[in-house]
Structure 1
Protein backbone atom coordinates (compact mmCIF):
# COMPACT_ATOMS: atom_id res chain seq x y z
CA UNK A 1 0.00 0.00 0.00
CA UNK A 2 1.30 3.44 -0.88
CA UNK A 3 0.92 6.00 1.89
CA UNK A 4 0.05 9.64 1.38
CA UNK A 5 3.35 11.64 1.32
CA UNK A 6 2.94 13.13 4.81
CA UNK A 7 2.08 9.73 6.25
CA UNK A 8 5.12 8.19 4.55
CA UNK A 9 7.35 10.77 6.29
CA UNK A 10 5.75 9.98 9.64
CA UNK A 11 6.07 6.22 9.10
CA UNK A 12 9.74 6.55 8.17
CA UNK A 13 10.50 8.53 11.33
CA UNK A 14 8.68 6.44 13.94
CA UNK A 15 11.00 4.19 15.93
CA UNK A 16 10.28 0.47 15.39
CA UNK A 17 8.25 -1.18 18.15
CA UNK A 18 6.76 2.11 19.38
CA UNK A 19 3.39 2.63 21.00
CA UNK A 20 1.32 4.88 18.71
CA UNK A 21 -1.96 6.78 19.00
CA UNK A 22 -3.15 8.02 15.59
CA UNK A 23 -5.76 10.72 16.23
CA UNK A 24 -8.00 11.25 13.22
CA UNK A 25 -6.62 8.01 11.79
CA UNK A 26 -9.07 7.84 8.87
CA UNK A 27 -9.23 4.35 7.42
CA UNK A 28 -6.12 3.27 9.34
CA UNK A 29 -3.63 3.26 6.44
CA UNK A 30 -0.81 4.70 8.56
CA UNK A 31 -1.59 2.44 11.50
CA UNK A 32 -1.52 -0.64 9.27
CA UNK A 33 1.85 0.39 7.82
CA UNK A 34 3.30 1.04 11.27
CA UNK A 35 2.01 -2.29 12.55
CA UNK A 36 3.10 -4.33 9.53
CA UNK A 37 6.39 -2.63 8.62
CA UNK A 38 7.66 -1.19 11.92
CA UNK A 39 6.21 -3.62 14.48
CA UNK A 40 4.39 -0.84 16.30
CA UNK A 41 1.49 -1.17 18.72
CA UNK A 42 -0.83 1.25 16.90
CA UNK A 43 -4.15 2.50 18.25
CA UNK A 44 -6.52 4.95 16.60
CA UNK A 45 -9.23 7.50 17.30
CA UNK A 46 -11.50 8.52 14.41
CA UNK A 47 -14.69 10.57 14.19
CA UNK A 48 -16.05 9.12 10.93
CA UNK A 49 -17.94 5.86 11.51
CA UNK A 50 -17.28 4.51 8.00
CA UNK A 51 -13.52 5.01 8.43
CA UNK A 52 -13.67 3.32 11.84
CA UNK A 53 -15.40 0.31 10.23
CA UNK A 54 -12.74 0.14 7.48
CA UNK A 55 -9.92 0.29 10.05
CA UNK A 56 -11.55 -2.43 12.14
CA UNK A 57 -11.84 -4.62 9.03
CA UNK A 58 -8.06 -4.28 8.70
CA UNK A 59 -7.73 -5.74 12.19
CA UNK A 60 -6.76 -2.42 13.76
CA UNK A 61 -7.62 -1.17 17.23
CA UNK A 62 -9.67 1.96 16.53
CA UNK A 63 -12.30 3.73 18.59
CA UNK A 64 -14.84 6.21 17.32
CA UNK A 65 -14.23 9.51 19.05
CA UNK A 66 -13.59 13.22 18.77
CA UNK A 67 -10.13 14.77 19.21
CA UNK A 68 -11.70 17.89 20.73
CA UNK A 69 -13.29 16.01 23.61
CA UNK A 70 -11.99 12.45 23.95
CA UNK A 71 -8.22 12.91 24.31
CA UNK A 72 -8.70 13.93 27.94
CA UNK A 73 -9.61 10.28 28.67
CA UNK A 74 -6.12 8.99 27.82
CA UNK A 75 -3.48 8.74 30.58
CA UNK A 76 -0.28 10.79 30.59
CA UNK A 77 2.65 9.42 28.56
CA UNK A 78 0.62 6.39 27.43
CA UNK A 79 2.22 6.45 23.96
CA UNK A 80 5.64 7.04 22.44
CA UNK A 81 4.03 9.04 19.61
CA UNK A 82 0.68 10.77 19.24
CA UNK A 83 -0.07 11.52 15.58
CA UNK A 84 -2.43 14.15 14.18
CA UNK A 85 -2.27 14.15 10.37
CA UNK A 86 -4.30 16.68 8.41
CA UNK A 87 -6.65 17.08 11.35
CA UNK A 88 -5.38 20.06 13.39
CA UNK A 89 -7.13 22.61 11.16
CA UNK A 90 -10.46 20.79 11.59
CA UNK A 91 -10.52 20.82 15.40
CA UNK A 92 -12.52 23.33 17.41
CA UNK A 93 -9.67 24.11 19.82
CA UNK A 94 -6.36 23.21 18.16
CA UNK A 95 -4.29 24.59 21.04
CA UNK A 96 -6.02 22.24 23.50
CA UNK A 97 -5.71 19.27 21.13
CA UNK A 98 -1.98 19.91 20.73
CA UNK A 99 -1.49 20.13 24.50
CA UNK A 100 -3.33 16.82 24.88
CA UNK A 101 -1.16 15.19 22.20
CA UNK A 102 1.99 16.22 24.04
CA UNK A 103 0.55 15.00 27.34
CA UNK A 104 -0.48 11.62 25.93
CA UNK A 105 2.62 11.02 23.80
CA UNK A 106 6.30 11.55 24.52
CA UNK A 107 6.45 13.03 21.01
CA UNK A 108 3.79 14.22 18.60
CA UNK A 109 3.66 14.32 14.81
CA UNK A 110 1.42 17.03 13.41
CA UNK A 111 0.80 17.55 9.69
CA UNK A 112 -1.41 20.14 8.04
CA UNK A 113 -2.06 21.92 4.74
CA UNK A 114 -0.31 25.28 4.50
CA UNK A 115 -2.85 28.00 3.83
CA UNK A 116 -0.05 30.45 2.91
CA UNK A 117 1.14 28.44 -0.10
CA UNK A 118 1.56 30.63 -3.16
CA UNK A 119 -1.31 28.94 -5.05
CA UNK A 120 -3.68 29.70 -2.17
CA UNK A 121 -2.46 33.30 -2.08
CA UNK A 122 -2.83 33.63 -5.85
CA UNK A 123 -6.35 32.25 -5.78
CA UNK A 124 -7.34 34.84 -3.21
CA UNK A 125 -5.46 37.68 -4.89
CA UNK A 126 -6.51 37.10 -8.49
CA UNK A 127 -9.81 35.30 -8.12
CA UNK A 128 -10.94 36.71 -4.81
CA UNK A 129 -12.22 33.29 -3.79
CA UNK A 130 -11.18 30.59 -1.37
CA UNK A 131 -9.03 28.10 -3.25
CA UNK A 132 -9.94 24.60 -4.33
CA UNK A 133 -6.75 22.56 -4.75
CA UNK A 134 -5.67 18.93 -4.59
CA UNK A 135 -4.95 19.29 -0.85
CA UNK A 136 -7.98 21.53 -0.27
CA UNK A 137 -10.49 19.89 -2.62
CA UNK A 138 -13.75 21.22 -1.20
CA UNK A 139 -15.55 24.51 -1.61
CA UNK A 140 -15.42 26.83 1.40
CA UNK A 141 -18.94 25.88 2.52
CA UNK A 142 -18.18 22.13 2.49
CA UNK A 143 -14.69 22.08 3.99
CA UNK A 144 -14.08 20.73 7.50
CA UNK A 145 -11.16 23.19 7.78
CA UNK A 146 -12.11 25.82 10.34
CA UNK A 147 -8.66 27.07 11.37
CA UNK A 148 -6.58 28.17 8.40
CA UNK A 149 -3.06 27.66 9.70
CA UNK A 150 0.18 28.55 7.93
CA UNK A 151 3.65 27.16 8.53
CA UNK A 152 4.79 30.46 10.05
CA UNK A 153 1.67 30.55 12.27
CA UNK A 154 2.45 27.06 13.53
CA UNK A 155 6.14 27.85 14.15
CA UNK A 156 5.15 30.92 16.20
CA UNK A 157 2.48 28.90 18.03
CA UNK A 158 4.89 26.18 19.21
CA UNK A 159 7.66 28.67 20.03
CA UNK A 160 5.34 30.72 22.24
CA UNK A 161 4.43 27.57 24.17
CA UNK A 162 7.98 26.33 24.62
CA UNK A 163 7.36 23.25 22.47
CA UNK A 164 10.51 21.79 20.91
CA UNK A 165 10.52 21.06 17.17
CA UNK A 166 12.61 17.91 16.69
CA UNK A 167 11.94 17.68 12.97
CA UNK A 168 10.13 19.48 10.18
CA UNK A 169 9.41 18.34 6.63
CA UNK A 170 7.79 20.33 3.87
CA UNK A 171 5.99 19.01 0.81
CA UNK A 172 5.10 20.53 -2.53
CA UNK A 173 3.05 18.43 -4.94
CA UNK A 174 3.78 15.39 -2.79
CA UNK A 175 7.57 15.75 -2.92
CA UNK A 176 9.90 17.04 -0.25
CA UNK A 177 11.06 20.63 -0.55
CA UNK A 178 13.54 22.65 1.51
CA UNK A 179 12.69 24.72 4.55
CA UNK A 180 13.75 27.86 2.67
CA UNK A 181 10.64 29.98 2.12
CA UNK A 182 8.49 26.98 3.14
CA UNK A 183 5.63 29.25 4.19
CA UNK A 184 5.37 30.40 0.56
CA UNK A 185 6.52 27.27 -1.31
CA UNK A 186 5.19 24.26 0.64
CA UNK A 187 1.66 22.98 0.27
CA UNK A 188 1.93 20.78 3.32
CA UNK A 189 4.01 20.53 6.51
CA UNK A 190 4.90 17.77 8.96
CA UNK A 191 6.32 18.58 12.39
CA UNK A 192 7.74 16.29 15.07
CA UNK A 193 7.29 17.89 18.49
CA UNK A 194 8.12 17.24 22.12
CA UNK A 195 7.98 19.06 25.43
Structure 2
Protein backbone atom coordinates (compact mmCIF):
# COMPACT_ATOMS: atom_id res chain seq x y z
CA UNK A 1 0.00 0.00 0.00
CA UNK A 2 1.29 3.43 -0.93
CA UNK A 3 1.23 6.15 1.72
CA UNK A 4 0.37 9.79 1.10
CA UNK A 5 3.69 11.68 0.48
CA UNK A 6 3.84 13.38 3.90
CA UNK A 7 3.05 10.10 5.65
CA UNK A 8 5.79 8.34 3.67
CA UNK A 9 8.31 10.93 4.95
CA UNK A 10 7.13 10.40 8.53
CA UNK A 11 7.22 6.60 8.19
CA UNK A 12 10.77 6.71 6.82
CA UNK A 13 11.95 8.76 9.81
CA UNK A 14 10.28 6.98 12.75
CA UNK A 15 12.71 4.74 14.62
CA UNK A 16 12.06 1.01 14.56
CA UNK A 17 10.35 -0.36 17.68
CA UNK A 18 9.28 3.03 19.02
CA UNK A 19 6.00 4.05 20.69
CA UNK A 20 3.84 6.38 18.59
CA UNK A 21 0.64 8.35 19.14
CA UNK A 22 -0.96 9.33 15.82
CA UNK A 23 -3.44 12.16 16.41
CA UNK A 24 -5.94 12.57 13.61
CA UNK A 25 -4.87 9.15 12.33
CA UNK A 26 -7.68 8.83 9.78
CA UNK A 27 -8.17 5.22 8.72
CA UNK A 28 -4.85 4.19 10.28
CA UNK A 29 -2.78 3.87 7.09
CA UNK A 30 0.37 5.30 8.70
CA UNK A 31 -0.09 3.30 11.89
CA UNK A 32 -0.50 0.07 9.93
CA UNK A 33 2.64 0.77 7.89
CA UNK A 34 4.64 1.55 11.03
CA UNK A 35 3.36 -1.57 12.79
CA UNK A 36 4.03 -3.85 9.83
CA UNK A 37 7.34 -2.41 8.60
CA UNK A 38 8.98 -1.08 11.77
CA UNK A 39 7.36 -3.04 14.62
CA UNK A 40 6.13 0.23 16.14
CA UNK A 41 3.68 0.22 19.06
CA UNK A 42 1.19 2.66 17.51
CA UNK A 43 -1.88 4.17 19.13
CA UNK A 44 -4.33 6.53 17.46
CA UNK A 45 -6.82 9.29 18.20
CA UNK A 46 -9.37 10.15 15.50
CA UNK A 47 -12.47 12.37 15.45
CA UNK A 48 -14.34 10.65 12.60
CA UNK A 49 -16.24 7.55 13.76
CA UNK A 50 -16.05 5.90 10.32
CA UNK A 51 -12.26 6.27 10.24
CA UNK A 52 -12.02 4.91 13.79
CA UNK A 53 -14.00 1.83 12.68
CA UNK A 54 -11.74 1.38 9.63
CA UNK A 55 -8.59 1.63 11.76
CA UNK A 56 -9.91 -0.77 14.39
CA UNK A 57 -10.87 -3.13 11.53
CA UNK A 58 -7.16 -3.18 10.60
CA UNK A 59 -6.39 -4.40 14.11
CA UNK A 60 -5.15 -1.00 15.31
CA UNK A 61 -5.58 0.57 18.73
CA UNK A 62 -7.55 3.74 17.93
CA UNK A 63 -10.03 5.68 20.04
CA UNK A 64 -12.45 8.36 19.01
CA UNK A 65 -11.41 11.76 20.32
CA UNK A 66 -10.76 15.41 19.61
CA UNK A 67 -7.21 16.82 19.58
CA UNK A 68 -8.47 20.13 20.93
CA UNK A 69 -9.81 18.61 24.16
CA UNK A 70 -8.52 15.07 24.65
CA UNK A 71 -4.74 15.49 24.54
CA UNK A 72 -4.65 17.03 28.03
CA UNK A 73 -5.34 13.57 29.52
CA UNK A 74 -2.20 11.95 28.09
CA UNK A 75 0.81 11.68 30.45
CA UNK A 76 4.03 13.58 29.79
CA UNK A 77 6.64 11.83 27.63
CA UNK A 78 4.47 8.73 27.22
CA UNK A 79 5.44 8.26 23.56
CA UNK A 80 8.62 8.48 21.51
CA UNK A 81 6.71 10.34 18.78
CA UNK A 82 3.45 12.25 18.68
CA UNK A 83 2.26 12.65 15.08
CA UNK A 84 -0.17 15.23 13.74
CA UNK A 85 -0.50 14.86 9.96
CA UNK A 86 -2.70 17.22 7.96
CA UNK A 87 -4.65 18.03 11.14
CA UNK A 88 -3.03 21.14 12.65
CA UNK A 89 -5.02 23.49 10.42
CA UNK A 90 -8.31 21.88 11.50
CA UNK A 91 -7.82 22.41 15.24
CA UNK A 92 -9.35 25.31 17.15
CA UNK A 93 -6.12 26.07 19.05
CA UNK A 94 -3.15 24.86 16.98
CA UNK A 95 -0.59 26.41 19.33
CA UNK A 96 -2.06 24.57 22.34
CA UNK A 97 -2.25 21.29 20.39
CA UNK A 98 1.41 21.74 19.41
CA UNK A 99 2.40 22.21 23.07
CA UNK A 100 0.55 19.00 23.98
CA UNK A 101 2.34 17.10 21.19
CA UNK A 102 5.71 18.13 22.57
CA UNK A 103 4.65 17.28 26.11
CA UNK A 104 3.25 13.83 25.21
CA UNK A 105 6.01 12.80 22.81
CA UNK A 106 9.76 13.11 23.07
CA UNK A 107 9.55 14.27 19.46
CA UNK A 108 6.66 15.40 17.30
CA UNK A 109 5.97 15.18 13.59
CA UNK A 110 3.66 17.85 12.20
CA UNK A 111 2.56 18.01 8.56
CA UNK A 112 0.20 20.52 6.97
CA UNK A 113 -0.86 21.97 3.62
CA UNK A 114 1.00 25.19 2.78
CA UNK A 115 -1.56 27.90 2.12
CA UNK A 116 1.18 30.12 0.62
CA UNK A 117 1.88 27.72 -2.28
CA UNK A 118 2.02 29.56 -5.60
CA UNK A 119 -1.18 27.90 -6.91
CA UNK A 120 -3.12 29.12 -3.88
CA UNK A 121 -1.69 32.62 -4.36
CA UNK A 122 -2.50 32.59 -8.09
CA UNK A 123 -6.07 31.47 -7.46
CA UNK A 124 -6.61 34.34 -5.06
CA UNK A 125 -4.82 36.87 -7.26
CA UNK A 126 -6.39 35.99 -10.62
CA UNK A 127 -9.70 34.47 -9.62
CA UNK A 128 -10.32 36.35 -6.39
CA UNK A 129 -11.65 33.17 -4.79
CA UNK A 130 -10.41 30.63 -2.27
CA UNK A 131 -8.73 27.85 -4.24
CA UNK A 132 -9.83 24.30 -4.78
CA UNK A 133 -6.72 22.23 -5.45
CA UNK A 134 -5.57 18.61 -5.28
CA UNK A 135 -4.55 19.05 -1.64
CA UNK A 136 -7.40 21.44 -0.78
CA UNK A 137 -10.16 19.67 -2.72
CA UNK A 138 -13.30 21.26 -1.27
CA UNK A 139 -14.90 24.69 -1.42
CA UNK A 140 -14.19 27.18 1.36
CA UNK A 141 -17.57 26.62 3.04
CA UNK A 142 -17.10 22.84 3.28
CA UNK A 143 -13.44 22.65 4.32
CA UNK A 144 -12.42 21.40 7.76
CA UNK A 145 -9.47 23.84 7.59
CA UNK A 146 -10.05 26.73 9.98
CA UNK A 147 -6.46 28.04 10.24
CA UNK A 148 -4.66 28.75 7.00
CA UNK A 149 -1.04 28.12 7.97
CA UNK A 150 1.99 28.72 5.75
CA UNK A 151 5.50 27.31 6.01
CA UNK A 152 6.80 30.70 7.17
CA UNK A 153 3.97 31.07 9.73
CA UNK A 154 4.86 27.69 11.22
CA UNK A 155 8.59 28.48 11.25
CA UNK A 156 7.82 31.72 13.13
CA UNK A 157 5.62 29.89 15.67
CA UNK A 158 8.24 27.27 16.52
CA UNK A 159 10.95 29.94 16.79
CA UNK A 160 8.75 32.08 19.06
CA UNK A 161 8.03 29.06 21.31
CA UNK A 162 11.68 27.96 21.50
CA UNK A 163 10.96 24.65 19.77
CA UNK A 164 13.86 22.88 18.05
CA UNK A 165 13.37 21.77 14.44
CA UNK A 166 15.25 18.48 13.99
CA UNK A 167 14.09 17.98 10.42
CA UNK A 168 11.97 19.60 7.76
CA UNK A 169 10.74 18.23 4.45
CA UNK A 170 8.95 20.33 1.86
CA UNK A 171 6.95 18.53 -0.80
CA UNK A 172 5.42 19.40 -4.13
CA UNK A 173 3.35 16.37 -5.00
CA UNK A 174 5.54 13.45 -3.91
CA UNK A 175 8.85 15.20 -4.64
CA UNK A 176 10.97 17.29 -2.29
CA UNK A 177 11.37 20.96 -3.03
CA UNK A 178 13.88 23.61 -1.94
CA UNK A 179 14.00 24.62 1.72
CA UNK A 180 14.84 28.16 0.64
CA UNK A 181 11.73 28.58 -1.52
CA UNK A 182 9.46 26.29 0.53
CA UNK A 183 6.91 28.99 1.37
CA UNK A 184 6.26 29.52 -2.35
CA UNK A 185 6.92 26.09 -3.89
CA UNK A 186 5.87 23.50 -1.29
CA UNK A 187 2.33 22.14 -1.40
CA UNK A 188 2.79 20.64 2.03
CA UNK A 189 5.40 20.54 4.78
CA UNK A 190 6.58 18.01 7.36
CA UNK A 191 8.46 19.07 10.48
CA UNK A 192 10.16 16.93 13.13
CA UNK A 193 10.25 18.86 16.40
CA UNK A 194 11.48 18.52 19.97
CA UNK A 195 11.76 20.61 23.12
How many equivalent pairs are there?
A: 195
Q: What's the counterpart of residue 141 of structure 2? A: 141
Q: What's the counterpart of residue 19 of structure 1? A: 19
Residues of 2 paired with 1:99 and 1:37: CA distance? 29
Residues of 1 paired with 2:55 and 2:82: CA distance? 18
172-181 or 113-122: bigger deviation: 172-181
Structure 2, unpaired ranges of 5+ = none
Residues of 2 paired with 1:45 and 1:133: CA distance? 27
Q: Deviations 1:90-126 (Å, cap 9, x if unpaired)?
A: 0000000000000000000000000000000000000
Residues of 2 paired with 1:71 and 1:48: CA distance? 16
Q: What's the counterpart of residue 128 of structure 2? A: 128
Per the alignment, in what secondary structure is the counterpart of residue 3 of structure 1? coil
State the 1:5 CA deviation. Answer: 0.4
State the 1:174 CA deviation. Answer: 2.0
Structure 1, unpaired ranges of 5+ = none
Q: Deviations 1:109-146 (Å, cap 9, x if unpaired)?
A: 00000000000000000000000000000000000000
Per the alignment, in what secondary structure is the counterpart of residue 139 of structure 2? coil
Residues of 1 paired with 2:57 and 2:154: CA distance? 35
Q: What's the counterpart of residue 33 of structure 2? A: 33
Residues of 1 paired with 2:110 and 2:43: CA distance? 16
Residues of 2 paired with 1:59 and 1:66: CA distance? 21
CA contact (8 A) 2:68 2:97 kept: yes
Per the alignment, in what secondary structure is the counterpart of residue 142 of structure 1? coil
Residues of 1 paired with 2:172 and 2:99: CA distance? 28
Moved over 3 A (4+): none
Residues of 2 paired with 1:111 and 1:153: CA distance? 13
TM-score by length of 1: 0.99
1:4 equivalenced with 2:4 (yes/no) = yes
Q: What's the counterpart of residue 74 of structure 1? A: 74
Per the alignment, in what secondary structure is the counterpart of residue 42 of structure 2? strand
State the 1:180 CA deviation. Answer: 1.9
Q: What's the counterpart of residue 60 of structure 1? A: 60
State the 1:178 CA deviation. Answer: 1.8
CA contact (8 A) 2:5 2:173 kept: no
State the 1:175 CA deviation. Answer: 1.3
